Amino acid sequence: MVVLPEPEAAKIALDVLRRGGNAVDAAVAAGFALAVTYPQAGNIGGGGFMLVRRADGSSFVVDYRETAPSGARRDMFLDPNRNALESLSTSSWLACGVPGTVAGLALAHERAGSVPLRRLIAPAADLAAGGFPVHARLSAALEEERDRLMPNSATAAVFFPGGKPPAPGSILVQDDLARTLRRIARDGPSAFYAGPIADGLVAAMRKHGGLITSEDLARYRAVIREPLRLAYRGCTILAPPPPSAGGILLAEMLNMIEPHDLRSLGAGSSAYLHLLAEVMKRAYADRATFLGDPEFVRIPLRGLLSPDYARRLMRGFDPEKATPSPQAGPGDPAPYDSEETTHFTIADASGNVVVNTYTLNDTFGSGAIADGLGFLLNNQMDDFSARPGTPNLYGLVGGEANAIAPGKRMLSSMTPAIVLRNGRPFLALGTRGGARITTIVLQVILNVIDFGMEIQEAVNSPRCHHQWIPDALSCESGALPADVAGNLRRRGHEIDITGPRGDVQAIQMDAAAGRLRGASDARGYGVALGD
């Protein structure tokens, strides 16, 4: 089973499985293919996290998050009055972190792949050279981002031939990207970090005022990390550790929720949504205060993961009244211490499961393509805290733990997760959604475990989000009946109505029946394909 946000890449991933590749092989092929067919977020110019659970029960995380260039400085996005300049951290070449995707996919393949890497990259290169039919959503996204993308001449040449985005159904050919992918396929992942590709990227950085150097590219390494193992209602949940904030946030929220009987509250009820809001704001207060790159800051990990700490955080919880954000946290875990992205989920017949979330950050990243290379670059530097207390692109605030430093990995919300029941994979999922990623994953898990929903219903169900600051409960349009909204407002919640959020790609495993059920979010245009 493969569940991807874009159909052409899904076909490539499924074909890898049909030809005898395993789930990691299919994930690597999907990662490269989405760089061609889903340029909003699929990439080789960004970074992410891959969580692998092997059939033998072992698991690992590949951290291929981008890093700050060696020339990055703590105050690089502040004006002389120390005000944050959002345009520099989102739309300039200074916004680009050192890309990790090629190194990360290659490391996952080295660790657990079975098909030669060149064969996994080849379909993506062929698709770039031969072209693929443009989906209406891609055409619309390009039109929406026209003003941001058009100033970069290389980007305009690829995505705005004749000054317009390709029409739905037309064929998009990306010759420069095809050449880049074929070079990586022929010479291996090192071809991205040294040689002509690296030289072209560095030349573009110099030309446009970016910071990435040849030395930055040569020094980049993807990292193998141990996944966090979270406990909830008899299940074990595998999730990534820092510099992803997702696993810790998920643990905190689940620990705060577990003492409550969600079934008695009812899915979608005002009492349930009130509880979620209170839990979310407390977790996100801790995110802003304690989390960053573990190579640079000490994270009170054991305390943050402690159920006792979660109970302390909830001492002030009032089921009838919202806690103002300034009173909701952050907590003190020390005594207990002994948002454009995309995701795909893949499971093979042998029992290997892969969940992968990667990103350029904003839709189409920084909007920049280096001449002759064909791939979009990230604007991931915005995920650092430009100044403590100043919101980033997604409204998230951060502190000194996530301050900019050379070589540092910026904090992430990505939360690829695998749920084990009785020691076997039961649910695998992840999503895009910026700051909302972790709360989306949380709600799908609760929908399945607590409310007994089938996976497609769990994925499609309305969602809410609270991130401490701003102090508002964000709910999808049409998700709140009038009486529920009224009850929440009476409790003191400010409600912010938004459009659909997230794009979950999930697989539910029925071990007894030997059956896989895939669910691609109705909010997107992905597919679930399987044999």
The pLDDT value given to residue 205: 97
Statement to judge: residues 137 and 174 lie in one domain: yes
346 vs 531, more confident:
346
505-to-73, 255, 467, 520 alpha-carbon distances in Å: 37, 24, 23, 5
Statement to judge: residues 36 and 174 lie in one domain: yes
275-to-262, 417, 439, 488 alpha-carbon distances in Å: 9, 22, 13, 10
HSE value, Cβ hemisphere, 13 Å, CA-based, for 105 = 33
Statement to judge: residues 284 and 207 lie in one domain: no
Whether 353 is covered by a domain: the verdict is: no
Statement to judge: residues 292 and 207 lie in one domain: no
The pLDDT value given to residue 338: 41
Statement to judge: residues 217 and 233 lie in one domain: no
Q: What is the CATH number of the domain that holds 423?
A: 3.60.20.40
Statement to judge: residues 181 and 288 lie in one domain: no
Whether 407 is covered by a domain: the verdict is: no
Strands (E), 409-512: 417-421, 424-429, 464-465, 473-476, 495-498, 505-510
**What integer is the mean pLDDT of 112-133?**
98
Statement to judge: residues 220 and 319 lie in one domain: no
Please, which residues have CB within 8 angstroms of residue 6's CB and are 6 or more apart in sequence? 34, 37, 38, 42, 135, 525, 526
Whether 359 is covered by a domain: the verdict is: no
Whether 58 is covered by a domain: the verdict is: yes
Whether 397 is covered by a domain: the verdict is: no
**What integer is the mean pLDDT of 234-242?**
96
Both tokens of residue 238? Answer: 């595998």
77 vs 218, more confident:
218
Statement to judge: residues 201 and 241 lie in one domain: no
Statement to judge: residues 449 and 521 lie in one domain: yes
Confidence of residue 387 (pLDDT cuts 50, 70, 90): low
Whether 291 is covered by a domain: the verdict is: yes
What are 474-518's pLDDT values in tens digits?
999 878 899 999 999 999 999 999 888 899 999 999 877 789 999
Domain that holds residue 522: 228-340+414-529
Quote the number of domains for the chain: 2
Q: Which residues are catalytic?
A: 341
Statement to judge: residues 141 and 264 lie in one domain: no
CB contact at 8 A, 419 and 445: yes
Statement to judge: residues 115 and 132 lie in one domain: yes
Strand partners for 473: 495
How far is residue 86's CA from residue 90's CA, in Å, rounded to a whole number? 6
Whether 350 is covered by a domain: the verdict is: no
Strand partners for 510: 515
CB contact at 8 A, 374 and 45: no
Q: Write down the H helix ranges in 38-152.
A: 86-91, 101-112, 117-130, 136-144, 146-149
Whether 475 is covered by a domain: the verdict is: yes
Statement to judge: residues 472 and 371 lie in one domain: no
